[in-house]
Amino acid sequence: MQARRKPVTLRIIAVFTMLTLMSLTFLYPLCFLIVTSLKDKPHYVADQFGPGITHWSLTNYVTMLSQFKIVEKFSNTLYVVVFSLVIITVFAVFASYAFAKLSFRGSRFLFLFLLFFTFIPGQVTMIPMYVVFSGMGLINNPWSVILSYCSGGIPGGILLMTAAFRAIPGEVIESARIDGVSTVSMVPRIIVPMGRVAIIINLIMGFIGYWNDLFLPLLYLQNEKSKTIIVALAALVSRYSNDPTYQMAGMVLAILPVMVLFLSLQRFIIKGLMVGAIK
Amino acid sequence: MKEHRSLQQRKTEQVALLLVLPSLAFVLLIKAYPLAMAILNSFTNWNGLSRHDFVGLRNYVTLLTGTEFWILLRNTLVLLLYLPFQIAGGLIVAVLLYEETPGWRFFRTVFYLPQVLSTVVIGFLFTILFGFSGPVNRLLVQSGILEKPVEWLADARTSIPILILCLVWINIGWQSLIFSGGLSAIPPSVLEAARIDGAGYWRTLLRVTLPMLMRTVEYSLIVSVIWVFTGIFPVIFSMTKGGPGRSTTTIDYMIYVKAFVSGNQLGMACALAMILTVIVIFVTRLQMLAADKLDDWGD
């Protein structure tokens, strides 16, 4: 027994060392990003690699708050993300419940019809929708982006949630029905509590995806007042192309909310992704 | 009783349709309608303003017989070269994580981080790292490997490898997670049986584990190829803007350029988008067929 333990330990050390080295290639660029954002340009030019802790200051961040109106960008982004997610979740939950647990004529056809549109690239629909939205005066209005996210997020959500809701045992629903729960109120009483894992995963992934999205907000939200954080960041980076420290402060702020969300919910997210990946 | 039942059933059907209807309306109005419009407009010379005439297949003929489209397709295909690195890297990481050494959860989080970060931010970060006065140049000059700094992203010979490096960096964590899912689905009894039969670590990995991960590889290939064709816009936008010249312009980036940046070629952009859709559906189909073949060989 003693003899067998030794090679295992060696192996663990080898694996641990390899993982450490590999993870450094991921951690170093991120540390570089954060440290640089705390320097000012002269110190960065003089010494790019040193931590330069003594010179750290929050000047870049203060400028970001005062001149760049970062709070406005955050609230624009949050507005788009929250309304998109609320609409997607409500609509997709009810539809998925119907597809998973109620039998009705044409359900198979309608399900496949909705799924078909998850295959259509956003590049196809964005041009006609741009014309529609500008006709409705919705360019520079967050609802152009929200409606577009919903049109993609609803079929995607239905795909995920229908699979999850199918796993809810029929007996639970049947006994609730005997207790007098109507078809519609089955959703808040049974479906949402029992299918919450899929719903929450869909919410989290949606939050990350929409917060980080560039494409649609870049097209539809062009004026300074309506820009989301990533679009504003793109403008900031090209305007201050000669000052990496300032650019990087903007980049840190742009990723901060999603980082916090991910790090606090990571076990849940990773478990959810793995379950989703096998299916 | 029977009458009552069917009445009940009819009522349930109506409720079900009502529950599906709002989602259906969204998709019809904001997906199906614009899809139809995109198809129609791909046959026009629409420029967003005055010109909007039916020109038949002219856009498609122009695209498919000209050189530009094939350059765009080649650029996208070249970027797909990142896939072997993603698969190999993801497999290595997954196999290492499978050992569950101390801190493996921390490592898993670190590898997955780029998936959570905005691709645009990652692109900008790489642009700064490989910038003319950026840290990579400085390191290489200081250590004497380079005589003078290089404009990495302004030369196609270096910008494409850097784009590929960036794609690998973004996706290794995702790939390893997918593989971890595949690994955990392999019954321990199978690995145990291989061990009892006298197979060593490497033999088990190559002969037992890897073949059982083929489904996982297939799934990741489909998802990744579609991503490169339709979702690579933020990487190109933040790193090269399609340049120098057209050397890193992909199909999806070109659709954006044609429609919104230069010349309002909306009809042409719609035609290009339709070709992209056909490619995506074709690639998916092709990969599924190839994967079925692979499975047959496996038996």
**Chain B within 8 Å of A98 (Cβ-Cβ)?**
yes
Which stretch of A131-140, A234-243, B115-124 has the lowest confidence by average pLDDT?
Answer: A234-243
pLDDT exceeds 80 at position A267: no
Query: Do A66 and A82 fall within a single domain?
Result: yes
Same domain, A54 and A71: no
Q: Do B30 and A125 touch (CB under 8 A)?
A: yes
Contact B125 A251 (CB under 8 A): yes
pLDDT band at A8 (very low <50, low <70, confident <90, very high): low
User: DSSP string covering B187-225, please?
Assistant: -HHHHHHHHHTT--HHHHIIIIIHHHTHHHHHHHHHHHH
Of A155, A251, A263, the CB nearest to B121: A251
Whether A30 and A72 share a structural domain: no
Asked whether the beta carbons of residue A23 and residue B107 sit closer than 8 angstroms, the reply is yes
Is the dihedral angle over the CA atoms B16, B21, B24, B28 positive or is it negative? positive
- pLDDT one-digit tens code per residue, A78-97: 999 999 999 999 999 999 99
Helix axes A2-37, B119-129, angle to 10 degrees: 80
Q: What is the 3-state secondary structure (H, E, C) of chain A?
A: CHHHHHHHHHHHHHHHHHHHHHHHHHHHHHHHHHHHHCCCHHHHHHCCCCCCHHHCCCHHHHHHHHCCCHHHHHHHHHHHHHHHHHHHHHHHHHHHHHHHHCCCCCHHHHHHHHHHCCCCCHHHHHHHHHHHHHHCCCCCCHHHHHHHHHHHHHHHHHHHHHHHHHCCCHHHHHHHHHCCCCCCCHHHHHHHHHCHHHHHHHHHHHHHHHHHCCHHHHHHCCCCCCCCHHHHHHHHHHHCCCCHHHHHHHHHHHHHHHHHHHHHHHHHHHHHHHHHHHC
Q: Determine contact, residues B268/B200, Cβ cutoff 8 Å.
A: no
| Alpha carbon B32 to chain centroid, angstroms | 23
Number of domains observed in the structure of chain A? 2
**Ordered DSSP codes for B168-191:** HHHHHHHHHHHHHHHHHTS-HHHH
Asked if residue A117 and residue A46 are part of one domain, the reply reads no
- Cα(B5)–Cα(A31) distance, integer angstroms: 66
Question: Residue A81 belongs to what domain range?
Answer: 62-278
A43 with A79, same domain: the answer is no
Q: Same structural domain for residues A236 and A144?
A: yes
- Is any Cβ of chain A less than 8 angstroms from the Cβ of B109? yes
List, in order, residues 6 or more apart from B95 with CB less than 8 Å away: B179, B183, B205, B209
So what's the ipTM on this one?
Answer: 0.87
A255/B138 CB distance under 8 A:
no
A46 and A145 housed in the same domain:
no
pLDDT at B171 over 90: yes
Q: Are residues A12 and A100 in the same domain?
A: no
* B235-253: pLDDT as tens digits: 999 998 887 878 889 998 9
CATH number assigned to the domain comprising residue A147: 1.10.3720.10
User: Tell me, what's the pLDDT at A1?
Assistant: 39
Q: Are residues A100 and A142 in the same domain?
A: yes
B13 with A104: Cβ contact below 8 A? yes
Q: How many residues does chain B have?
A: 299
Choose the mutation target among B121, B183, B258, B275 for the interface with A, i.e. most A CBs under 10 Å.
B121
- Is there a single domain that holds both residue A114 and residue A11? no
Shortest CB distance from B96 goes to which of A19, A123, A234? A19
Residue of chain B with shortest Cα separation from A16: B101
- Chain B, 231 to 270: residues with Cβ < 8 Å from chain A are 233-234, 237-238, 252, 255-256, 259-260, 266, 269-270
The reply to whether A22 and A100 lie within a common domain is no
Q: Which of residues 196-215 of B touch A (CB under 8 A)?
A: none
- Domain boundary, last residue among A58, A79, A103: A58
Q: Choosing among B13, B20, B43, B241, which should be mutated to test the A contact, i.e. which has the most A CBs within 10 A?
A: B20
Decide if A274 contacts B183 (C-beta within 8 A).
Answer: no
For A169, half-sphere exposure in the C-beta direction (CA atoms, 13 angstrom radius) is 4
Closest CA to A207 of A74, A81, A77: A81
Neighbours of A40 (CB within 10 A): 16
| Phi, psi values for residue B54, rounded to 5° | -70, 125
Q: Tens of pLDDT along B26-61?
A: 899 999 999 999 998 888 888 877 777 788 788 898
Residue B5 one-letter amino acid: R
Cα separation, A56 vs A185, in Å, equals: 56
Domains and CATH numbers, chain B: 65-298 (1.10.3720.10)
What does the pLDDT look like over A154-180, one tens digit per residue?
998 998 899 889 888 888 888 888 888
Q: Identify whether residues A138 and A175 lie together within a single domain.
A: yes
Residues B259, B238: Cα–Cα separation, whole Å: 19
Segment B218-240 shows an average pLDDT of 89
Beta partners for B44?
Answer: B54
